[in-house]
């Protein structure tokens, strides 16, 4: 049966310390790296098994592309696959639970700069877990927004059971585990399933209820696909996200049945074992085209595994010791130098980071990550406000992009650097390129809105910020609401100037949203977050208007500045959080030499005689 490719296209367009130098085994087993057109596989199970792993991932990628009718399917973060020959070796990188490695057949470990897939080749089926997570990553490069957990997890599970041979791939083969789970534990009401969110207890806590959630999500997606209801699902999400229709009403309107009726048909579907799967032809040359294999030295394989540890919360300090151990035996190992530099960058030890990055790039100038890290270091040392560093930063980012054109984050950082360097057109184009590579990355969308505001284009910024203000990520929503107040204020002031009419802010234009206190890893935040992220809830409040005399500007703590303003008989200190992102009227750029100038301010009062500027107009 042919996959419903056209419907997919329509719907989705809307929608313990380890001595790593011992990883070369005592019996002489050599680590090898197998490269395919789209993947790198490091393994100690031999070249043949490494090639098998690469072929399986190439097959899944091709099947996903065929079903999703996408000519170019990529993930926006570099991916390293590591295939271990047995369970014992996988345990050395497995997450810890009460100090002991968890048992698993496979693991996906994500990051802003690099992702890892790890497999235990000694088990019967290591594929389903990692294919599930890989499907999430592929969706990140295709879908334009995050959808409800039931659909995200159900769809990833749908693809996780792919079976491939030389002739065809079987997509959507039902999971016997899902049937068993639902028959033993019972099923949730569909309406309750659809109401589960990323921060819900059901989604985050281990146990039977979470298992039922995953199994039933799987079955709902099977039911939707088997009954050609993807277009109805698109209608459902439009009702939920854009029209704010309650879940129960949205089910009725989109699927033509009540939640109770949906419960009934889904139970019958599961009880009858009606799920189908679909055959997709396997590209004939996918197992033979463009594969290479090369041995890895003990130092190089150890550097890969130390990099995994560096990106895991359980092993970070251990990773530093491991990189240093590698350099003790191989002082010119570029990968270990790069990894140790990144470790020190995250610890904010910038001098050490700079030294390691410099040594790494001298040894391997073709490594995109070391150029990207070098640019990231510059943002930490002076930010985009240090114009003396911008040309070098731009050069490093352009080099990283030339070496890896599918890596999204350098485009985002480059967009900010170019805009600060006076080339707003290129800055906007590169920020939009980052979004095209990673369309669901809300930080990039927030960055783009900030660039629109810097370019005095609030009409383009406001719709983006309005969408982000409804984000399920409370931190993104908070910062978007903050920026939205500024964008709307800018829009009103530009319209007022066009009409030459007086204007004062009326009422609270600011929406208070608590920041995300659940961020697991503050130092993993991308370095190019827009200045809205510097705003904190303690500064929130109604937007007020003031006219007065700007007596002087204190720029002693860049990039912020303090405006000393006299209004009537009262003196004020108004803080501008970032002078390079200030909303200005009556001046092309911020100046620390302003004095004795008439000024109009929209601001938030933060204390007695103190405030935070929303906009500044020189008169």
Confidence class for position 200, pLDDT limits 50, 70, 90: confident
pLDDT of residue 72: 58
d(CA 115, CA 81): 9
Q: Which domain holds residue 538?
A: 531-618
Domain assignment present for 567: yes
Give whichever of 271-280, 523-532, 567-576 has the largest mean pLDDT: 567-576
d(CA 299, CA 292): 20
pLDDT of residue 5: 47
Q: For residue 33, is pLDDT > 60?
A: yes
Query: What's the average model confidence in pLDDT over 255-277?
Result: 89
CA triplet 584, 586, 588: central angle to 5 degrees?
A: 65
pLDDT of residue 445: 92
Look up residue 576 and give its two tokens: 């501008």
Higher pLDDT, 328 or 20: 328
Domain assignment present for 90: no
What percent of the chain clears pLDDT 90, i.e. is strictly above it? Answer: 38
d(CA 251, CA 433): 36
* CA-wise closest residue to 31 among 8, 15, 50: 50
Q: For residue 334, is pLDDT > 90?
A: yes
Query: What's the average model confidence in pLDDT over 70-95?
Result: 84
Rg (CA), the chain: 27
pLDDT of residue 350: 94
* CA-wise closest residue to 132 among 111, 152, 110, 103: 152
pLDDT of residue 387: 79
pLDDT of residue 204: 63
Which pairs count as long-range contacts for 589-598, CB under 8 Å and 24+ apart, including other chains? 590/561, 590/616, 591/553, 592/553, 592/555, 592/561, 593/553, 594/550, 594/552, 594/553, 594/618, 595/550, 595/551, 595/552, 595/553, 596/549, 596/550, 596/551, 597/549, 597/550, 598/547, 598/548, 598/549, 598/550
pLDDT of residue 278: 77
Give Cα separations from 179 to 99, 182, 275, 507 (angstroms). 33, 5, 10, 56
In the block, tokens 């399986």 appear at: 56
Higher pLDDT, 212 or 142: 212
Q: For residue 30, is pLDDT > 70?
A: yes
pLDDT of residue 73: 73
pLDDT of residue 2: 46
CA triplet 595, 599, 604: central angle to 5 degrees?
A: 115
Burial class (CB in 10 A: 0-12, 13-18, 19+), 69: middle
66-77 tens-digit pLDDT: 776 654 577 788
Q: For residue 599, is pLDDT > 60?
A: yes
Query: Mapping DSSP to helix (H, G, I), strand (E, B) and coil, where does residue 90 land?
Result: helix
pLDDT of residue 542: 63
pLDDT of residue 352: 96
Q: For residue 161, is pLDDT > 90?
A: no
Classify residue 44 by its DSSP letter.
S
How far out from the chain centre does Cα 395 lie?
24
Give whichever of 140-149, 358-367, 523-532 has the largest mean pLDDT: 358-367
410-460 tens-digit pLDDT: 999 999 899 888 899 999 999 999 998 888 888 999 999 989 988 888 899
The residues, ordered by sequence, that sit 6+ positions from 141 with a Cβ below 8 Å of its Cβ are 73, 74, 75, 76, 437, 438, 439
Domain assignment present for 466: no
Query: What's the average model confidence in pLDDT over 124-138?
Result: 80
> What is the DSSP code string of 257-298?
S-HHHHHHHHHHHHHHT----EEEEPPTTTTTSS-EEEE--H
Higher pLDDT, 282 or 454: 454
d(CA 151, CA 250): 15
Please list the alpha-helical segments (H only) found in 500-607: none
pLDDT of residue 511: 26
d(CA 308, CA 305): 5
511-549 tens-digit pLDDT: 222 223 333 444 443 333 333 333 333 334 566 778 899
Please list the alpha-helical segments (H only) found in 404-539: 408-420, 424-437, 442-454, 458-468, 474-499
Pairing of strands 40-43, 79-84: parallel
pLDDT of residue 572: 93
The residues, ordered by sequence, that sit 6+ positions from 423 with a Cβ below 8 Å of its Cβ are none
d(CA 393, CA 66): 39
CB-side exposure of 270: number of CA atoms within 13 Å?
A: 27
Mean pLDDT of the chain: 81
pLDDT of residue 70: 54
Domain assignment present for 344: no
Lowest mean pLDDT among 29-43, 212-226, 514-528, 592-606: 514-528
406 and 76 Cβ atoms separated by less than 8 Å: yes
* CA-wise closest residue to 613 among 590, 593, 597: 590
What percent of the chain clears pLDDT 70, i.e. is strictly above it? Answer: 85
For the chain, the domain total comes to: 1
d(CA 397, CA 410): 6
Domain assignment present for 239: no
* CA-wise closest residue to 579 among 380, 388, 420: 420
**Which helix (H) or strand (E) is 544 found in, with range?**
strand 543-554
Query: What's the average model confidence in pLDDT over 486-490?
Result: 82
Confidence class for position 194, pLDDT limits 50, 70, 90: very high
Q: For residue 304, is pLDDT > 90?
A: yes
Domain assignment present for 535: yes
Domain of 556, CATH number, reads 2.40.50.140
Q: For residue 179, is pLDDT > 80?
A: yes
Write the Ramachandran bin of 541: left for phi over 0, alpha for psi from -120 to 50, otherwise beta.
left
d(CA 151, CA 145): 12
pLDDT of residue 461: 92
Query: Which residues on adjacent β-strands are paired with residue 35?
Result: 40, 292
Domain assignment present for 414: no
Domain assignment present for 613: yes
């Amino acid at each position: 049966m042919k996959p419903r490719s056209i419907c997919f296209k329509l719907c989705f367009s809307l929608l313990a310390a380890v001595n790593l130098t011992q990883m070369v085994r005592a019996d002489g087993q050599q680590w090898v790296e197998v490269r395919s057109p789209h993947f790198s596989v490091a393994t100690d199970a031999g070249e043949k098994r490494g090639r098998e792993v690469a072929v399986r991932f190439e097959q899944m990628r091709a099947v996903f592309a065929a079903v999703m009718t996408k000519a170019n399917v990529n993930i926006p973060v570099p991916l390293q696959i590591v295939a271990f020959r047995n369970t014992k070796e996988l345990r050395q990188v497995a997450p810890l639970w009460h100090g002991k490695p968890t048992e698993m057949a496979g693991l996906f470990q994500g990051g802003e700069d690099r992702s890892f897939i790890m497999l235990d080749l000694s088990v019967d089926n290591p594929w389903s877990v990692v294919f599930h997570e890989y499907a999430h990553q592929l969706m990140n490069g295709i879908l334009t927004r995050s959808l409800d957990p039931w659909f995200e997890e159900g769809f990833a599970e749908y693809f996780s059971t792919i079976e491939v041979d030389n002739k065809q791939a079987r997509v959507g083969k039902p999971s016997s585990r899902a049937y068993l789970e639902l028959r033993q534990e019972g099923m949730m009401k569909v309406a309750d399933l659809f109401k589960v969110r990323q921060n819900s207890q059901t989604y985050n806590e281990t146990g039977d209820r979470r298992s039922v959630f995953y199994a039933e999500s799987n079955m709902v997606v099977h039911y939707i696909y088997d009954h050609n209801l993807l277009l109805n699902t698109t209608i459902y999400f439009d009702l939920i996200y854009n029209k704010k229709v309650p879940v129960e009403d949205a089910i009725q309107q989109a699927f033509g049945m009540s939640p109770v009726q949906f419960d009934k048909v889904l139970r019958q579907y599961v009880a009858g074992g009606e799920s189908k799967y679909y055959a997709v032809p396997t590209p004939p040359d996918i197992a033979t085209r463009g594969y290479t294999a090369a041995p890895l030295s003990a130092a190089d394989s150890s550097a890969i595994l130390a990099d995994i540890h560096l990106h895991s919360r359980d092993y970070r300090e251990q990773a530093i010791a491991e990189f240093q151990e590698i350099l003790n035996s191989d002082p010119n190992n570029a990968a270990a130098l790069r990894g140790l530099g990144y470790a020190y960058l995250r610890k904010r030890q910038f001098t050490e980071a700079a030294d390691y990055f410099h040594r790494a790039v001298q040894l391997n100038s073709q490594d995109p990550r070391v150029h990207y890290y070098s640019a990231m270091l510059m943002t930490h040392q002076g930010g985009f406000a240090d114009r003396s560093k911008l040309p070098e930063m731009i050069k490093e980012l352009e080099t990283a992009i030339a070496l890896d054109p599918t890596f999204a984050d350098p485009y985002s950082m480059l967009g900010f650097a170019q805009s600060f360097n006076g080339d707003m057109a290129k800055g906007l184009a590169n920020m939009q390129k980052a979004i095209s590579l990673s369309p669901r990355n809300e930080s990039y969308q927030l960055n783009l809105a900030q660039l629109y505001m810097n370019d005095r284009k609030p009409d383009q910024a406001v719709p983006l910020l309005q969408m982000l203000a409804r984000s399920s990520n409370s931190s993104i929503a908070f910062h978007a609401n903050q920026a939205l107040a500024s964008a709307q204020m800018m829009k009103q002031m530009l319209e007022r100037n066009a009409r030459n009419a007086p204007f004062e802010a009326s009422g609270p234009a600011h929406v208070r949203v608590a920041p995300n206190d659940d961020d697991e890893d503050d130092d993993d935040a991308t370095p190019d977050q827009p200045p809205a992220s510097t705003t904190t809830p303690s500064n929130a409040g109604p937007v007020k208007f003031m006219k007065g005399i700007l007596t002087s500007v204190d720029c002693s703590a860049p990039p912020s500045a303090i405006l000393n303003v006299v209004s009537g008989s009262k003196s004020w200190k108004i803080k501008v959080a970032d002078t390079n992102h200030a909303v200005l009227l009556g001046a092309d750029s911020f100046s620390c030499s302003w004095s004795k100038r008439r000024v109009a301010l929209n601001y938030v009062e933060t204390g007695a005689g103190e405030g935070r500027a929303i906009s500044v107009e020189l008169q």
